[in-house]
Amino acid sequence: MKVVIQVPCLNEESTLASVLEGLPTHLDGVDEIEIVIIDDGSSDRTVEVARAHGVTHIVRHARNMGLARSFRDGVEYALSIGADIVVNTDGDNQYPGDRIGDLVAPIIAGDADIVMGDRQTHTIEHFSPFKKTMQRFGSWVVNKAAGTKLPDAASGFRAYSRYSLYRLNIVTQFSYCMETINTTQIRRAAQN
């Protein structure tokens, strides 16, 4: 079983080292873990930081192409190097790397094809009351439309089985998060 952790980055020089240092080097039921950096046109030292931390898989955009394109290009690369599971996190250190095991466990067990982390946005101190309200409202809208009960529909902290990735269809340039929600495949993974 091979897990590829993809990290989309845009000028993440100041946080990427912490992200990379927090990623697991071993996961139960996993034989191999690879890290892929998707550099979305960074103008800082993001790529140099990644290389200094031993990352050898780097997908580079000459200019900023957006999160959806970065996600899609990362997935294509991960599948090309044999990923059985792709985990998406961010280079800005908003997701805890030590919880990746929780994301992949339901996929390894065969209980899910997509697992989403819950940022518990109502507890994030630097989120303004307006942003917290908009996060709740956005998730409510998505849940109504998709027939789900996701507490954090916009979370980019996700794991996907290879099976699910072959069936995704991303059409927007801005974000992939909402359009990759499939009610038959999602299980929640709390991110306490």
Average pLDDT, consecutive stretches of 10 residues, N- to C-terminus, the chain (192 residues): 97 97 96 98 97 97 90 94 96 90 96 82 65 66 66 78 79 49 42 37
In DSSP notation, the chain reads -EEEEEEEESS-TTTHHHHHHHS-S--TT-SEEEEEEEEES-SSSHHHHHHHTT--EEEEESS---HHHHHHHHHHHHHHTT-SEEEE--TTS-S-GGGHHHHHHHHHTTS-SEEEEE--GGG-TTS-HHHHHHHHHHHHHHHHHHT---S-TT---EEEEHHHHTT-----SS-STGGG--TTTEEEEE--
pTM of the model: 0.81
Identify the structural domains of the chain with CATH numbers, from first to last: 2-190 (3.90.550.10)
pLDDT (tens digit, 9 = 90+) per residue, 81-98?
A: 999 999 999 898 888 999
